Amino acid sequence: MDLSGPPLIRSVRFRQEREADWKRLDELVTKTERTGVHSLSWAEAQSLAQLYQKASNSLSVAREISLDRGLLTYLEALVARAYLAVYAPQETLGGLFARFFTQGAPRAMRACWPHIQLGILCMFLGAALGYGLYFQDTAWYNTFMPPRLAGGRGPGASTEYLRNVIYDEHGWEGLGSFASFLFSHNTRIAIFVFGLGAFAALPAILLTAYNGTILGAFLALHVDRGLGWDVGGWLSIHGVTEISAICIAAGGGIRLGQAVLFPGQYTRRDALWIAGRDAVKLAIVAAIMLVAAAILEGFGRQLIQDMTARYVVGWGMGLLWLAWFVLGGRQRHTRL
């Protein structure tokens, strides 16, 4: 032992030497928490990073040499707060949107192409089923179709009534009907189909197929009355976009379900995280398409009464979407 009076304990000295730095870090972190990293000056931002590293170094030493609980809890909390301030999300919004549209979305679409195809297949099989069953027995129609969605169109309705609905010039309410279309059945289905995918994909597949049967039965009803071509136009103008959106949402859901069912070499949690990177982009694409479909349904369908024009607009939109997915975000291969 030292004879020249009691020397300070090592951990006390440790603390006294560094306390000023911690206080300074505390101030900077408090400022960042209140007003964001962007409000720091260049020098402040630099010292925030340096002081954070020093403090986390101190913490790791203090855990070894100090038994001062007051100090340990303080440092733990300080380093945790500084970590949150230093590793805060730092993105500019403009770059975010541009990157999504030019690269992220089309690449995700191509990466998940098999899953989307599966979604389309479910929809198609469902539609075929609904179509076939209707011609077997028209009573099936009411089994599939929710009454709210049918709006009086069923096997009991007259052909004249069906034709009127297709070429209806009165029911236009602009924004109001746009909104109601957006929140209609299909948006809900798309959200469900995507979300349910995380629970092992089967619910997503079933729901997509069920939605297909509704479509099939609806088509069959009109074909039965000789209105096949007309209802095709009526549906095409927004349906090409909208039904593709549901299939894409289903593709995203199936991608998530695949991660849960077949995680491969990863844990399920990690597999879900990896799958999510593409699936979420698909969900956003589907959302954008649903908004576009609602615009087409709310405005376009009422403004364009000519059947051929409806086909042209509907499938033209479809081609544009396809072009985005197929052509967007490709990198030119640079040969050295």
Q: Which of residues 66-125 bind other proteins (CB under 8 A)?
A: 66-71, 74, 76-81, 83-85, 87-91, 93, 96
One of 3, 20, 43, 175 touching other proteins (CB under 8 A): 175
According to the binding rule CB under 8 A, does residue 256 interact with other proteins? yes
Q: Which of 24, 45, 107, 178 binds other proteins (CB under 8 A)?
A: 178
Cβ pair 236, 314 in contact under 8 A = yes
Nearest to 200 by CA among 250, 113, 258: 258
Under the binding rule (CB under 8 A), the answer on residue 180 touching other proteins is yes
In Å, what is the CA distance from 205 to each residue of 109, 232, 252, 261, 284? 18, 25, 11, 14, 19
Q: Which of residues 131-150 bind other proteins (CB under 8 A)?
A: 146
Report if residue 15 touches other proteins, rule: CB under 8 A: yes
| 11 near other proteins, judged by CB under 8 A | yes
Q: Is 20 in the site for other proteins (CB under 8 A)?
A: no
The site map against other proteins for 215-254 (x = CB under 8 A) is ----------------------------------------
Angle between helix axes 42-65 and 69-86 (nearest 10 degrees) is 140
Residue 65 near other proteins by CB under 8 A: yes
Position 45, amino acid: A
Q: How far is the CB of 159 from other proteins (least distance, A)?
A: 28
State the Cα–Cα distance between residues 61 and 321, nearest whole angstrom: 57
**Interface residue with other proteins, options 113, 135, 161, 199 (CB under 8 A):** 199
Tally Cβ neighbours within 10 Å of residue 172.
13
Q: What is the CA radius of gyration of the chain?
A: 30
Q: Which stretch binds other proteins (CB under 8 A): 109-117, 170-178, 211-219, 299-307?
A: 170-178
Q: How far is the CB of 86 from other proteins (least distance, A)?
A: 8
For residues 128 and 191, give the distance between their C-alpha atoms in angstroms, rounded to a whole number.
24
Cβ 215 vs Cβ 123: under 8 Å: yes
User: Is residue 164 near other proteins by the rule CB under 8 A?
Assistant: no
Continuous segment of H or E residues that includes residue 137: none
> Nearest to residue 233, comparing CAs of 317, 315, 310?
310
User: Interior CA angle at 230 toward 183 and 228, to 5°?
Assistant: 100
The interface region with other proteins, picked from 111-119, 171-179, 214-222, 311-319 by CB under 8 A, is: 171-179
| Site residues (CB under 8 A) for other proteins, limited to 43-62 | 52-53, 56-57, 59-60
Q: Which part of the chain contacts other proteins (CB under 8 A), choosing from 129-137, 162-170, 175-183, 219-227?
A: 175-183
Q: If binding is defined by CB under 8 A, does position 205 make contact with other proteins?
A: no
- Counting residues that bind other proteins (by CB under 8 A) gives 76
| Residue 244, CB-side half-sphere exposure with 13 Å CA sphere | 23
How far from each other are the two terminal CA atoms of the chain, in whole angstroms? 70
Exactly one of 121, 125, 150, 182 binds other proteins (CB under 8 A); that residue is 182
- The answer for residues whose C-beta is within 8 angstroms of residue 305's C-beta and 6 or more apart is 167, 169
The binder of other proteins chosen from 28, 48, 214, 283 (CB under 8 A): 283
> Residue from 183, 229, 262, 266 that binds other proteins (CB under 8 A)?
183
Is residue 262 involved in binding other proteins (CB under 8 A)? Answer: no
- Tell me which stretch binds other proteins (CB under 8 A): 39-47, 173-181, 225-233, 321-329: 173-181
Alpha carbons 243 and 240: distance in angstroms, whole number: 6
